[in-house]
Chains A and B, each alone.
Chain A
Amino acid sequence: MSNILNISLSSVFVPPCFKATAISLRPAVSVVTYLDDHHTWETGSSVTVPAAQHQDNSTRSHKYTPLNFLPYTLYEQFQRFANFYFLLIVVMQCVPAIATIPWYITVFPLLIVLSVRALKDLVSDLGRRRSDKQINSRSCDLLTSGGFQTVQWKDVCVGDVLRIHKDQIIPADLLLLQSTEPHSLCYVETADIDGETNLKFRQALAATHAELTSDPADQSLSSFNGVAFCEEPNGNLYSFRGELRWRGETYRLDTEHILLRGTVLRNTDHAYGVTIYAGADTKIMKNFGKVIVKTTQVERILNRVILGIMLFVLLLDLLLAVGSGVFEHQVSSRLEVLSALGGDASASYRGFLSFWGYVILMSPAIPMSLYISLEVMKVFQCFFINWDLKMYHADSDKPAHARNTSLNEELGQVGHLLSDKTGTLTQNCLIFRQCCIAGDIYGQTGLLSVPNPLDLSWNRFSCGGLQFYDQRLVDRLVKQRCPLGREFFAALALCHTVMTEWKEGAPHYQAASPDEEALVGAARDLGWVFLSRTRDSLTLSELDHTRQYQLLTLIDFTSQRRRMSVLVKEPGGELKLYCKGADIVILERLQKDCPHRESCQRALERDPFSALQLFSQGCLRTLCVAVRSVTEAQWAVWRQVLDQCQTETSQREARLEELHARMERDLTLLGVTAIEDRLQDGVPETISTLRQAGIKVWVLTGDKTETAVNVGYACRLMDPDTSLLQGDELRQLLQSPDPDVKILQKKKSEMWCTDGCLPRDGTTIVINGLELAELIDEPELGARFVTLANRCQSVLCCRVTPGQKAAVVQLVRRHTPSVTLAIGDGANDVNMIKTAHVGVGLYGVEGSQAVQNADFALAQFRFLGRLLLVHGHWSNLRICLFLRYFLYKTTAFAFVNVWYSFFSGFSAQRLYESWFISLYTVMYTSMPVQCLALFEQDVSAEGCMCWPEVYKKGQRLEFFSPRALTTTLLYSLYSSLVLCLLPLGVFQYLTLDFQTLAVTMGTSAVFMTTAEVIEGGPVRSKNDPVLTKMNGTPFRRGTVQRRSSYAVSQGKGFGRLITSGAGLRTAAPQQQTPHPAATDSHTAQHLPGNAQGESAEAL
């Protein structure tokens, strides 16, 4: 085996795996070296990264091992201030001279607190360990000297060659070497990375394809000894720089050659690749971010308050110690029974001792068991969330699930909601809903009940599932009464870049854009079945007549052009140019006397009766379909230009553009399609409720701008008359010296609105990933952006990477004090979910990554309303009441000792029985407040949903404001004074002894604090939630064309593939194909086919 490595390049580098167990099994096939900055690329001098920096491929999200658990958990817990304080107290209590309370009185509750907490951490860590193990033990095929062997994911190392099966999840970032498809193409689904369900293609280098393709592949792959230079591991999913040096040649590598971990191989039998990044170095893992321990705002305030209480108590201790010194000096010295007790110590020394005595005595003022009670309370509240039937999704049998039990109150304080789009707001399921052919509108929208499906039994290709209900159209089509309709559907079946795959005798469509898939699918169900395509032909079955169209040219969709066209030669010999695209683009290219132009044209002039108007009111995405008859002569001219363009390179783009403009002209409108980007159930209602509750909704999506804006309108993120602020306008605003002033001048009427009502003419910021990158880099610009965004109704971020999603969350967190909530369903949302104060995961179709990393898991987006407005509000209220009450009861309890000191000679005499101190918080006063924290409802669940304004109270943190806290603490001081002086007043005249007093005091303390619970809850007043029932504003549409477009995938569509012919098998060389299925006229031409005989199919 010739795997001698280029020593000069890799002398320092030894892949770690070769030192591991499986040494003998694996040939050293290749070396991967990371280059650390750009300069090395230019100079060619490489820097090899030490071997230790290469990761193995295991995931590790747990943090404890049996060995480090105890020290680690203790370390973590004693970082908590109260715990550490009590540890000190316990130490001090071991000194007899100052032990005003016996040590076991403090140790007992402290141990309970520590062990409950440790147990809780342990259980959650075990859960993480289990899920890690599950991922790490997934299997994959690894090339060894004995051929491919199945190993676990965690055993894969950088440099290993892997074989990936169809539908297998790719275990690490691979450099694609070859695949079983022609030209070593392969298709991946990146749903788990960017949330897009459509397929993307990846292609191996021509060199590796040519050299390594053999059968079986083991042999040739074993001899592969290239050296890959890759950039440092990073989280950028859409870019990659690298080089492959092999056999003296250097090849450029980019994203097209890379298979990312977490993507799924589709439509390709096998792909072979060499691992370049593994484990934590992989791009998706780099995007996951670190495990962040989330602490809530209330908790942070609480820590400060407790610190404040402690300082105050220490000050009191000091004053009392001074009192003690004075007493010892003035009184004790004369009272023999007392003076003898101190021995020879001076009064000041006695005062010093009594200071520490007071520190111990007053330690119950620091609520030690507060944290643990709080955690117990939160766990119970989480149970309520889990138990809520109104957040249970019967279809998927999934109840809501609170995974992180420490964030409940933040649910009631959310100020910014950052949502993913695909899979979260939308179902990522596009439905052909309506169409307008020759001025007639077919299909209905907004149906309350599902009507009977169309009778499509005459169509053998129909596979059901069409949600288009209009028998008129079918009748007209079948009875051939509607020639324009026939052409309309022929156009839909021809003008696209969809690929077919034959399964069980029916075509399955693979499209770069889900819109196209929906359109071609609709055409299929209505009788125009797209059967297969080759490089230069398309086969259709038109109402059961199979016809073959010759594909002359295909002009692909781009976001600038917003249209695509095909020029086909009909079987009859006629040339037709079919074009579909955004309405505004098509309408300006229509013939002057186009018959149906009027009905569409009116739409642009805001006529409510036109088809476009109607469709957009129904929040449907429209496309115009047009046709043009082309003469042979014209085609000849065009063809000449096209041929020239093939060879010419200098002005190719410009000339092509000019040609395309000439071709797509004088069109005749065939009709308009209306597609519904189906929202999840209840999304618009939920978003509108949340907005009423004062929550800013930001949508972050990897999808393109047009789609995102469209969905934004559909889900009431924007109102119909909302204007968009984007691009240069936004940039100018941000870069102007004072964006606040400028935006106020500019949009005064829109920006200012009285509190509580929705801004009628709001503004929505639309920003894309590139622009965002700038904002994130420049802190000042970012701050301005957030300020601006807070004045706007909502924000749409398009084409953002998972890392950027997290950065946006970070941006909001940094520049606003409000609580952020991120919601998403895919792996691409994980980082964002982890970064936000509260992360919510939806049980998606695409795996459970989001849920696993989320704090709360829901089955549907619509449950978010209830989670926030009902559970969030209640939890917030309950926890804040609980905390305030807890502070009250502990301080009121402890301060009694201060007052009593004036009667006991400042001797740090405790006023309670010792065990009473220990049990007071743990037992005597715990139940009532826990009931309060469990059951308190200031507004009923229905009320919370009905008046979202109630939520704003929690957002402003009114239940835990400094004022509320001060009141609580002052009140506790007052209570303790009363609690001390009343019994003392009574005892003054009686013969009762100290013990009786202690018991009386303790009992009254319990009675008082219990009575306070009953009084403590906020009182509902009749006119608290203002009864402002929002009526839906009458629907008005401003700019119709916003909805008209369609989305293509992240990179490019399949257009280039089709026109270049790569990956398509031509119909001609069939004779060498031995596979019997290939003789079938339908299956022979499918893409991506099975692995048989690809070497013979030279294209």
Chain B
Amino acid sequence: MKKQTETLNRPDNTAFTQQRLPAWQPMLSAGIVIPGFVVIGLAFIGIGVALFVTSQNIQVLERDYTGVEQNSDNDCSRCLNRTNCVCAVQFNLAKQLEGPVFFYYGLSNYFQNHRKYGVSRDDYQLSGDTYYFENPEDDCIPYQYDSRNRPIVPCGSKANSLFNDTFRLYRLVGGQKKQVPFDGKGIAWWTDYNLKYRNPTLVDGSLAKAFNGTVKPVNWPKPVYELDTSDSSNNGFLNQDFLVWMRRAALPGFRKLYRRISEGEYADGLPTGNYSLEINYNYPVHGFDGRKKVFFSNVSWMGGKNQFLGIAYLVVGSLCIVMSLVMLIVYAKYRFPDEDS
């Protein structure tokens, strides 16, 4: 009894309080490090080779249609300084492009990742809050109100600069142009389409009336509620092309998904033959030395064509091997005598 009261303050004798928790501390001796480096190096080289080979097997067809240079395969140079111009890119597939084929457009020297560009938007508008239809946020300046002080919906530089070239692909079979069907559904992020972007509630069953009192962005030919009048689920803020554009690119050179080719006879890919891509050339990039490109590509388990990753793995793997060799030489020459045991 007395003993108990005497040792009231005795600390607990546990592994934690006495700092005796089990621990593992690697002894990094040459016998562990050198084989370790070899193993890691080999593993990385293996991964690198796999990535590289996969990436090599991805087929990509890339065409620049900016029209700065005179090219035999397209006549877009004539559209360089004109609007509402149609031009076409001709190409030949010597080998079938395995499906599913993705069709991208790409821009370069275009700073979608510029900070001010990125914030120049009103998320409340885009989620269908009509209060902000009348009072767009200040972030949208100078695309907040038009010259007659009417609110712009969708406001901001980002929406205003919507990419508005359109594409149609024709397969040339025996002198006939046969349109290749594009699938434009589900090319935007699921979260954008279902959660983040909302059309305003319809007024009298009409989307257009919901936008009463607002004006279209300055550069747009038509208001947002007329982006796709044929399909109400692809109209307004929920238009897939609009959604794809509004998701900013990470780098000044970027590409964005335009359509998928996966329907009918093209489900297995684009067969060999001649094709013509007809372009409504609207978007001006000449002023800032930008380039416009189109891509036809298929994908693999690792995504699109990307040789960088494979090469990076190979380089690191090789470095590991080289380091292990260096260490082996150092070890053989200068090893501590007592480590022989």
Q: Which residues of A contact B (CB under 8 A)?
A: 96, 100, 331-332, 334-338, 340-343, 357, 383-384, 386-389, 392, 394, 397-399, 874, 903-905, 907-910, 935, 937, 941, 982, 984-997, 1019-1023
Specify which chain B residues have a CB less than 8 angstroms from the CB of A990 in the assembled complex.
Answer: 303-304, 306
State which residues 89-135 of B face A: CB under 8 Å. Answer: 104, 110-118, 120
What is the bound-complex CA distance between A171 and B142, given in angstroms?
78
Q: Pick the contact of B336 from A342, A394, A997, A1023 — CB < 8 Å?
A: A1023
**Shortest beta-carbon distance from B252 to chain A in Å:** 6
Contacts of A935 in B (CB 8 A): 19, 21, 23
Interface presence of B153 (CB below 8 A): no
For the complex, give the distance between the alpha carbons of A342 and B141 in Å: 9
Neighbouring B residues of A991 by C-beta, 8 Å: 104, 254-257, 304
Q: By the criterion CB–CB under 8 Å, are A1019 and B19 in contact?
A: no
Closest 3 CB pairs of A and B: A387-B17, A997-B250, A907-B115
* Cβ-neighbour of A993 out of B10, B25, B160, B247 (below 8 A): B247
Q: How far is the CA of A389 from the CA of B6 in the complex (A)?
A: 15
CA A600 – CA B337 in complex, angstroms?
57
Max chain A Cβ within 10 angstroms of own Cβ: one of B12, B23, B111, B336: B111
The reply to whether A984 and B251 form a contact with Cβ atoms under 8 Å apart is: yes
Complex interface: chain B residues within 8 A of A387 (CB): 11-12, 17-18
Contact of A397 among B6, B12, B25, B247 (CB under 8 A): B6
Report yes or no: B308 in contact with A986, Cβ–Cβ below 8 A. yes
Q: How far is the CA of A386 from the CA of B18 in the complex (A)?
A: 10
A383 and B305 CA atoms in complex are apart in Å by 55
Chain B residue contacts of A397, Cβ below 8 A: 6-10
Measured between beta carbons, the chain A residues less than 8 angstroms from B247 are 993-995
Question: Given the known A-B contacts A340-B143, A341-B157, A397-B10, are A994 and B113 also in contact in the complex, defined by CB atoms under 8 Å?
Answer: yes
Interface assignment of B46: CB less than 8 Å from any CB of chain A: no
- Report yes or no: A384 in contact with B19, Cβ–Cβ below 8 A: yes
Interface size of B as a range: 35 or more
Residue pair B11, A340 in contact (C-beta under 8 Å): no
For residue B332, CB closer than 8 A to chain A, the reply is: no
Q: Which residues of A contact B8 (CB under 8 A)?
A: 397
Chain B interface SS verdict (over half): loop
Q: Give chain B's interface residues, CB within 8 Å of chain A.
A: 6-13, 17-19, 21, 23, 25-29, 104, 110-118, 120, 138, 141-143, 157, 160-161, 247-257, 287-289, 303-309, 312, 336, 338-339
Decide if A340 touches B157 in the complex (CB within 8 Å). yes
Total contacts A to B, CB within 8 angstroms? Answer: 156
Q: What CA separation (Å) do A989 and B306 show in the bound complex? A: 6
CA distance A340 to B117 in the complex (A): 10
Q: Per a CB cutoff under 8 Å, which of B25, B116, B257, B306 touches A342?
A: B116
Contact with A996, one of B27, B120, B141, B250 (Cβ below 8 angstroms): B250
Distance, CA A984 to CA B249, complexed state (A):
12
B113 near A903 with CB under 8 A, answer yes
Contact B157 A337 (CB under 8 A): yes
Known contacts being A337-B157, A340-B157, A990-B304, is A1019 close to B142, with CB within 8 Å?
A: no
A993 pairs with B248, CB closer than 8 A: yes
CB distance A392 to B11 under 8 Å? Answer: yes
Given A334-B288, A389-B13, A392-B11, check contact A903 B252 (CB 8 Å): yes
22 A-B residue pairs with CB within 8 Å? A331-B288, A332-B114, A335-B287, A338-B111, A340-B157, A341-B114, A342-B116, A387-B12, A388-B11, A389-B11, A394-B7, A903-B252, A904-B111, A909-B113, A935-B19, A935-B23, A988-B251, A993-B247, A994-B112, A1020-B25, A1020-B27, A1021-B28
Query: What residues of A have a CB within 8 angstroms of the CB of B304 in the complex?
Result: 989-991
Q: Shortest beta-carbon distance, B226 to chain A, in Å?
A: 22
| A341-B142, A905-B111, A909-B115 given; A399·B11 CB < 8 A | yes
Q: Which residues of chain A are near B23, meaning CB under 8 Å?
A: 935, 937
- Write the chain B residue with the least CB distance to A386: B11
Beta-carbon contact of A388 and B18 below 8 Å: yes
Across-interface contacts of A984 in B (CB, < 8 A): 250-251
Given B10, B114, B142, B143, which contacts A392 in the complex, CB threshold below 8 Å? B10
Expressed in whole angstroms, the minimum distance between the Cβ of B130 and any Cβ of chain A is 24
User: In the bound complex, how far is the Cα of B305 from the Cα of A1036, in angstroms?
Assistant: 83
Q: How far is the CA of A935 from the CA of B113 in the complex (A)?
A: 43
Which among A909, A984, A991 has the greatest number of chain B C-beta atoms within 10 A? A991
CA distance A874 to B19 in the complex (A): 11
Q: Report yes or no: A336 in contact with B17, Cβ–Cβ below 8 A.
A: no
Cα distance, A96 to B140, chains bound together (Å): 13
Q: How far is the CB of A661 from chain B (nearest CB, A)?
A: 57
Residues in A whose Cβ lies below 8 Å from that of B18: 387-389
Distance, CA A989 to CA B250, complexed state (A)? 11
Q: Is the CB of B338 within 8 A of A1023?
A: yes
Tell me the minimal C-beta distance from B14 to chain A in angstroms. 9
Known A-B contacts A990-B303, A991-B104; the reply to A907 vs B114 at CB < 8 A is yes
Cα(A332)–Cα(B104), bound, Å: 26
Across-interface contacts of B115 in A (CB, < 8 A): 100, 357, 904, 907-910
Query: B160, A337: Cβ atoms under 8 Å?
Result: yes
Chain A residue numbers with a CB within 8 Å of B26 are: 1019
A357 to B26, CA, bound (A): 45
- CB neighbours (8 Å) of B7 from chain A are 394, 397
Residue among A335, A387, A392 with max Cβ neighbours from chain B (10 Å): A335
Complex alpha-carbon distance, A130 and B249, angstroms: 62
- The 8 Å CB contact of B29, one of A905, A987, A1022, is A1022
**A contact residues around B138 at 8 Å (CB):** 96
Q: Given the complex, which residues of A lie within 8 Å of B253, measured CB to CB? A: 988
Chain B: CB-nearest residue to A353: B116
Q: How far is the CA of A309 from the CA of B89 in the complex (A)?
A: 54
When distances are taken between beta carbons in the complex, the residues of chain A under 8 Å from B113 are 903-905, 907, 909, 994
Q: Report the nearest B residue to A100, measured CB to CB.
A: B115
* Nearest residue, chain B, Cβ from A341: B116
Q: How far is the CB of B219 from chain A (nearest CB, A)?
A: 9
Name the distance in Å between A335's Cβ and chain B's nearest Cβ. 4
The minimal Cβ–Cβ distance linking A1002 to chain B, given in whole angstroms, is 13
The answer to whether B114 and A986 have CB atoms under 8 Å apart is no
Whole-angstrom distance between the Cβ of B28 and the nearest chain A Cβ: 5
- Kindly list chain B residues whose C-beta atoms are within 8 Å of the C-beta of A908: 115
